[in-house]
Amino acid sequence: MSLIGSEEESTPLLSGDADSVEEADRSRWKSIRVMYFTMFLSSVGFTIVITSIWPYLQKIDDTADASFLGWVVAAYSLGQMVASPLFGLWSNHRPRREPLVCSIFFNVSANIYYAYVYLIPSYNKYHMLLARAFVGFGAGNVAVVRSYVAGATSLKERTSAMANMSACQALGFILGPALQAALSFIGEKGYTLHFLELKLNMYTAPALLAAVFGVINILLVIIILREHRVDDYGRHITAINYVSEDEVEVPPEVEENIDQIAVLTSNVLFFVILFIFAVFETISTPLSMDMFAWTRKEAVLYNGIILAAIGFESIIVFLVVKVISVRIGDRPVLLSGLAIVFIGFFILLPWGNQYPKIQWADLQNNSIPAITFAANAANGTVEPTGCPPEQIWCQYTPAIQLAQYITSDILIGVGYPACNVMSYTLYSKILGPKPQGVYMGWLTASGSGARTLGPVFVSQVYTLLGPRWAFSLICGIVLAAIILLTAMYKRLIAFSVRYGRIEE
């Protein structure tokens, strides 16, 4: 892009000499880095328990099934969907410290609740559902983070800043599952802290560690974060003096209207992108336990390693996207990412003549005496592995091979991060210089809605019909998103480009 305007137009609006402008810029980037870190910790707080939710749920409440798992995973996103517009509206009218500190404190409290759900004498699965919903409500601050970074960067800085923020989010995806995998060595029994009435094990330790991270996040927001806002050229149109807290005068709002069709299209695309990844992260643990006959501990460990590897892959993708998007633009990268995701899910379609192992098959084949099996099951020394017999499709649907699973992981690990960062980078550019808190709240709510429906959708379809139907429907949804993006391609442009202030 090339900027249109005289040298005078690029002069910062912030009052004071060059030193004060430079000092304000330093404060601006320090604050942006705090937002990066907030996004990182938000991601860690979500992924640090994601691979252990299913075995934890099975352990605390034996009435929970794979269908209920979908609701537990979706509860996080439902809470986030409700909170995001509220926090976004709050951030438009008050200092962003307020919604950030409030939301993170809520998150910390909810993680502690999650760690103690096993103590409750009954209805444990519903308490886990509530705990995850409250954690998600606290994560509604993602809308505040995105609106702050969008408002504090110029159009030229925006893609790079959003990619950096997504890289921090991906780093959280790496560290979260990696920490969960490391903490799995504590085991299911773990240690008992009698003075806290707490069982510290592979299920509760990650949630408590996420609470500690949240406390650190609150301190950083209070100590470092300051309010800054610049226009598309990088001129300071609002800033709070980090010493006296005096607000610089803000120029009048621009009169041009935002392209609401482009806004709606962006929300739909973001919904699809988050929906498909929510499906992927929800189904990974039960799918691997069914197809590869992994135990609960193996599923937590191996999927933690896989998700950590995908997170590392995502960071590389974000670094590449920052370079490629400058040369070919944001929209081609988004389109390419969706095509790669489509291929990733298509590969997961089952084929061949090998079928998954059915739980208790050894007992049925009389290879182990029934009395021994019953005794071991009663005292907890044996764990059934393989596809549950109540899932009828296990008997006639070919097994997904480990090579298919890994290849799909690699492709989705390339396509999803490219789609993710490009979708909300484009969105922030479409909105232009107006305050974006509420709009970013709706975008986050759209993504949260996808994270709510995705787990419920895949858990129901997968449990009843199996992976062939589940992944075929996902491929259809991704194909529909590609068609929508192609149809609306020319409208998904930056606000300043649309009104001729900047040439594309």
**Successive 10-residue mean pLDDT values, the chain, 504 residues:** 39 53 82 90 81 84 79 82 86 86 93 89 88 90 86 80 79 78 81 81 89 92 86 63 41 64 91 87 84 83 81 83 84 94 93 80 51 49 76 87 91 90 84 74 81 80 88 94 94 77 60
Q: What is the pTM of this model?
A: 0.69
- DSSP-derived letter for residue 8 is G
Length of the chain in residues, anyone? Answer: 504
Amino acid at 140: G
All structural domains of the chain with their residue ranges: 9-350+400-503
Residue 276: its pLDDT value, please?
87
The rounded distance, in Å, linking the Cα atoms of 44 and 35 is 14
- DSSP-derived letter for residue 352 is S
Residue 157: its pLDDT value, please?
81
- DSSP-derived letter for residue 229 is E
Residue 5: its pLDDT value, please?
41
The rounded distance, in Å, linking the Cα atoms of 171 and 316 is 10
Give the CB-side neighbour count of residue 448, counting CA atoms within 13 A: 28
Residue 19: its pLDDT value, please?
66
- Locate all alpha helices (DSSP H) within 435-494, ordered by sequence: 437-465, 467-487
- DSSP-derived letter for residue 186 is G
The separation between CA 146 and the C-alpha centre of its own chain, rounded to angstroms, equals 13
Residue 12: its pLDDT value, please?
43
The rounded distance, in Å, linking the Cα atoms of 360 and 337 is 41
Residue 502: its pLDDT value, please?
61
Residue 269: its pLDDT value, please?
94
- DSSP-derived letter for residue 199 is E
Encode burial over 27-56: b for 16+ CB neighbours within 10 A, e otherwise. bbeebbbbbbbbbbbbbbbbbbbbbbbbbb
Residue 4: its pLDDT value, please?
40
Q: Which tokens hold the place of 464?
A: 């009843």
The separation between CA 137 and the C-alpha centre of its own chain, rounded to angstroms, equals 14
Amino acid at 52: S
The rounded distance, in Å, linking the Cα atoms of 202 and 373 is 26
**Which CATH number is associated with domain 9-350+400-503?**
1.20.1250.20
Angle between helices 142-151 and 18-47 (to 10 degrees): 150
The rounded distance, in Å, linking the Cα atoms of 261 and 169 is 28
Closest to 492 (Cα-Cα) out of 399, 418, 429, 415: 429
Contacts of residue 320, Cβ cutoff 8 Å, sequence gap at least 6: none
